[in-house]
Amino acid sequence: MKVPQQVARLGVVFAAAIAALLVARSFLVPETFGELGHYRAAAIDSIAAHPKKYAGHQECAACHDDLAAKRAAGNHRGVACEVCHGPQQAHVDAPLDVKPPAPRDRGFCPLCHAYNPSRPTGFPQIDPVAHNPLRPCITCHDPHAPVPPAVPEECSACHGQIARQKALSHHANLPCVTCHQVPQQHKVTPRVIRPTKPAERAFCGRCHAEGASGPAEAPRIDLAAHHPRYLCWQCHYPHYPETQ
């Protein structure tokens, strides 16, 4: 049977295209492609040949065995040295010339420890704005052996903003517990168990009512006549320096 002219011509074109693809393949597909999987096997060697930047924590332990032992026993045992100190192969090669940095500013630790709802429950998290403002983390926490979140000694550990405001207010000398009753459990589950606020006008009246026994400079008002339907702190925020 005679092959139609069209088929012959198209056959040539398709054959040429397929041949071109096969020729291109033979030139362009790397030799070791497919040996180990759908990739160039030699890529492993070429990646391995890159200059090393990270030394690995075993290298650090060779000299800093005290710190390594301390870290291995602490809560940061899963955090390798170079996570905080950066890639240190250069330091291993020339220990005296290249010194590893140690992050001391407050911006670093919150990368892991700032409050974020997607972090696992129980993971130590703080609000960097409110938590002991301005103090570097390492003043209280040893990064090589951090202890679990201790019960805060002072209210200012978490309520730093309020503490700073109050320090400039007329109430600077009053301890927080003068006005707030703080259950012990508040320090463990702060969002569940909350401290109290003064619930009666008479509470403020202990210093501010006419004839009260408080300091002479504290302003006095007639409790019965002065906006009797409101609690005092609904108008006078007690932590503000400008509170009248």
Partner 1 sequence: MQGYIYPNEFELQWSLLIVLYPYITGLVAGAFILASLERVFNVKEVQPTYRLALLTALAFLLVAPLPLQAHLGHPERSYEIFLTPNRKSAMAMFGFVYAWYLTVVLLLEIWFEYRKDMVLWAREAVGWRRWLYYGLTLGATDLSDPSLKFDDAAGRWITVIGIPSAFLLHGYVGFIFGSVKANPWWSSVLMPVVFLFSAIVSGIALVLILYVVISLFRSRPVDMRCLDKLASFLFYAMIVDVSLEMLDFVHRLYESEESIDILSQMIESRLFISLIVLQLVLGTLIPLGFLGVFSPALHRGLARGSDELRRLIYLMSAVLVEIGIFSIRWNVVIGGQLFSKSLRGLTVYKVELLGLEGLATTLVLLALPFVILWVLVKVLPPWEEPAGLRRLDGV
Residues that bind partner 1 (CB under 8 A): 4-6, 8-10, 12-14, 17, 21, 24-25, 28-29, 33-34, 38, 117-118
CB of 91 to partner 1, least distance (A): 32
CB of 141 to partner 1, least distance (A): 25
Using the minimum distance from each CB to partner 1, give the nearer residue, 25 or 50.
Answer: 25
CB of 198 to partner 1, least distance (A): 35
The residues pairing with 133 across neighbouring beta strands, listed in sequence order, are none
Using the minimum distance from each CB to partner 1, give the nearer residue, 1 or 94.
Answer: 1
- The CA distance from 193 to 185, in Å, is 6
Using the minimum distance from each CB to partner 1, give the nearer residue, 116 or 196.
Answer: 116
CB of 37 to partner 1, least distance (A): 10
CB of 46 to partner 1, least distance (A): 16
- The CA distance from 104 to 136, in Å, is 6
Using the minimum distance from each CB to partner 1, give the nearer residue, 51 or 117.
Answer: 117
Using the minimum distance from each CB to partner 1, give the nearer residue, 22 or 216.
Answer: 22
CB of 33 to partner 1, least distance (A): 6
Please state the three-class secondary structure of the chain as a single string: CCCCHHHHHHHHHHHHHHHHHHHHHHHHCCCCECCCCCCECHHHHHHHCCCCCCCCHHHHHHHCHHHHHHHHHCCCCCCCHHHHHCCCHHHHHCCCCCCCCCCCCCCCCHHHHECCCCCCCCCCCECCCCCCCCCCHHHCCCCCCCCCCCCCCCHHHCCHHHHHHHHCCCCCCCCHHHHCCCCHHHHCCCCCCCCCCCCCHHHHHHHHECCCCCCCCCCCECCCCCCCCCCHHHCCCCCCCCCC
Using the minimum distance from each CB to partner 1, give the nearer residue, 34 or 133.
Answer: 34
